[in-house]
Chains A and B, each alone.
Chain A
Amino acid sequence: MLFQIAWKNIWRNKTRSLLVMGSVVMGLWVGAFMMAYAFGMIDQRLQDAVKNEISHFQSHHPKFEIDNEVKYFLSEGPEMLRKIRLDKRVKAATGRVIVNGMVSSANYSTGGRFIGIIPAFENEVTGLQDKLTEGAYFDENSRNKVIIGERLAEKLKVKLRSKIVLTFQDSTGNILAGAFRIRGLYKTYNATYDETNIFVRAMDIDQLINLPGQYHEIAALIHDPGKLDTVITDLTVAYPKAKTEDWKDIAPEISLMIESFDQYMIIFLIIILLALSFGIINTMLMAVLERVREIGVLMAIGMNRTKLFFMISLETICLVMAATPFGMLLGYFTVQYLGKTGMDLSAIYQEGYAAYGVQSYIYPKLEDIYYIRVMCMVIVTALLASIYPAITAIRLNPIKAIRKI
């Protein structure tokens, strides 16, 4: 009976109720969309990072990460790479010689990371060749050639076939410099990456630093990311002197981003729900105060305060609950649809977002658990929002209320 009256009361002021329902629907819709958008962005970032930069796992000399010094190369690098490439679980693997130093043109000089690559293998792992926007990839004849990022080229004010000088230390600490000609320009979605990483052939640089055939880094992709842990364990057992880590450990900022994201989402949701609940409370309070006399009559004829409380709070709860499925479905289908088609944001955002390593094409996505979470939070919000108007109603003095005509 209380439920019936509550439901009927909702429809007394259709416009107002629909407005509240509309705001609940909007809140859920926008909430789901924003979350899916942010998740999509993060997921994209992760996939890009794995595909373009980190790969699934990497091996280094244990000290290399802390001290990017030339002397910390992988002691069994060439053999390890051979083994890894023969592993059936591995899709692609490559070795790299990595040296930090200065890169200079006639106009400008800046810090850089010189990466000596095995051109064919590197291409299998990071697809470097596909990222070229100008010039050509390495071949047998490209001795002392470099491929640098477009953005770095702009900074250095150099073009294809310009000469740049790389300065760095060799394994014994001697300062060396080498002149390289630009063979190609590349571009990824990560501006910082493009400005720092300079590719040369491993064989060109390892002679300079006097580490022929050695690698500082082995990076690999595997077929089934689910097997990542076992692959790493196997490698760690086989090559205990090398430190083999998965992408989460290599780029902790990315996994941290994903983990802390849950919390951000909850805060974000709470803000939406808080705003919603203020709207709901306000509206329901209006509905209660409009019916002061009627509530007074109910109390006069013997409706006790518990029942009255339930009747008024049921009204709020029904209102929110009735709107929730619409909001959820709208959010769900929007996310599903945009998740398939993707959202092209290149027109609006590219410059700004590229700096954070985010692509301008985003596929919103949201796991089912989040819909359930949102639903629970909406239910809690409805319950909380229903309390205040109901308390206001039972605090009414029936006699005063009845005298008010």
Chain B
Amino acid sequence: MNNLPPVIITEDLTKVYDEGAIPVKAVNQVNLQIDQGEFTALVGPSGSGKTTLLNMIGGLDRPSSGKVWVDGKNLGAMKKNQLIDFRLHNIGFVFQAYNLIPVLTARENIEFVMLLQKASKKERNHRVLELLREVGLQDKMNNRPDELSGGQQQRVAVARALASKPKFVLADEPTANLDSKTAANLLDIMSKLNQEEGITFIFSTHDQRVIDRAHRVITLVDGAIESDELIANASDHIESV
């Protein structure tokens, strides 16, 4: 189906927090390969290292040892500013909550990333409207985040994550603050974008209904991979919801 090399590779990726009395191995010797276009869930109990792993893959955090290759680039070799630039052009982030800039409208929040990329006005208008349509928020585009519901805010966050046309979207518990119907709706949007634009999604979650939607489920326990399953016909779930 796909002979391209994996777009995300981790080699013995380890993160140790030794700020406290006892060092904590948040991520322990993780070796992972993720292909272009995957729709992967990262699961595991609280404190198992999901956020830490996602942050290292996204270049937000530096590993204690081991390497991360994203799109053929060794993130460990990049300087701070290079990493920021790499994130801007390659990675979209969706966090659990409070993703948006409160003083900007939904539309401006999405446009912001493109402004950082120095996209032309025409390009911006086109893409922003397209994304707003994708996430179904055309009529809310001039509302500020505090005028949107939690689900709407997360949809804007997903739209913003995609505005830069990234290859990857990393979402850390994007549905944690949403009720199950809203969560399913957000997953619909994410999986549609995954299929239509071929964007690689990795999201962490505790929610079984979200896990059910993934094509691949990686389970972490105490910072190490406990299981890694491919789920056949996962896309059928979309139709079934």
Contact = CB atoms under 8 A, between A and B. Distances in A.
Interface in A1-38: 1, 5, 8-9, 11-12
Given A8-B103, A12-B103, A301 B97 contact: no
Q: Is the interface of A mostly helix, strand, loop or mixed?
A: helix
B69 to A, nearest CB: 20
Interface stretch (A266-274, A291-299, A374-382): A291-299
Interface string A327-358: 00000000000000000000000000000000
Contacts of A11: 103
A217 to B, nearest CB: 74
B92, B103, B112, B161: residue with the most chain A Cβ atoms closer than 10 Å:
B103
Contacts of B88: 301-304
A389 to B, nearest CB: 17
A399 interface: yes
Interface string A282-316: 00000000000110011111111101000000000
A304 B98 contact: no
A403 interface: yes
B206 interface: no
Contact of B101 (A298, A299, A304, A399): A298
Given A8-B103, A8-B104, A304-B81, A1 B115 contact: yes
A302 B85 contact: yes
B103 to A, nearest CB: 4
Contacts of B96: 405
B61 A399 contact: yes
B73 interface: no
Interface in A381-405: 398-399, 402-403, 405
A13 to B, nearest CB: 11
A405 B99 CA distance: 11
B75 to A, nearest CB: 13
B103 A5 contact: yes
Contacts of A293: 98
B98 A302 contact: no
A403 B97 CA distance: 11
Contacts of B235: none
B152 interface: no
Nearest to A7: B103
Interface of A: 1, 5, 8-9, 11-12, 293-294, 297-305, 307, 398-399, 402-403, 405
8 contacts: A8-B103, A293-B98, A294-B98, A294-B102, A297-B99, A300-B58, A304-B88, A405-B97
Interface of B: 51, 55, 58, 60-61, 80-81, 84-85, 87-89, 92-93, 95-104, 112-113, 115-117, 160-161, 164
